[in-house]
Amino acid sequence: MLASFGLTAFPWLVLCCLWPEDGLPTSSIGDKLQQVGGTLTGAIDRMEERGLVRRERDSRDGRIWLTDSARELQDVLPPLVAEIRDRAVEGISEADR
């Protein structure tokens, strides 16, 4: 379902980091997702190419900012992912989840 928005799971997770706190340093996103730089850098490169994020560098660090397109996805994607989650656990008792 994320593919219809041109996303895979990892960019989805990056968006989840930025929606509540935009303008995070790349290192903070990496820490939150427990990812090494190369993996994260590649994902952010692709997100930047798609117009979802923009980079802003200063003397201390590089920060990642959401674009308007990414902010609009905040209204659409979380309910969609909740639906995916609900389907995945359908028929499984609360205790077994």
The answer on pLDDT for 65 being more than 90 is yes
Instruction: Check if the beta carbon of residue 19 is closer than 8 Å to that of residue 73.
Output: no
* Interval 86-96: pLDDT, tens: 999 999 988 88
Q: Domain count of the chain?
A: 1
Position 32 in a domain: yes
CATH number, domain of 29, equals 1.10.10.10
Q: Please state, for a pLDDT cut of 70, what percent of the chain lies above it.
A: 97
Give the pTM. Answer: 0.84
CA dist list (Å): 69 to 21, 76, 85: 16, 11, 24
Residue 93 within a domain: no
**Tokens standing for residue 37:** 């730089």
Q: Rounded CA gap, 77 and 60, in Å?
A: 32
Q: Place 35 in a pLDDT band, splitting at 50, 70 and 90.
A: confident
Among 6-20, 28-42, 71-85, which is the least confidently predicted range?
28-42
pLDDT at 11 over 70: yes
> Is residue 5 domain-resident?
no
Residue 44 lies in a domain: yes
Virtual CA dihedral for 46, 72, 89, 31, nearest 10 degrees?
Answer: 50
What is the span of the domain harbouring residue 65?
10-88
Q: What is the largest CA-CA distance in the chain?
A: 52
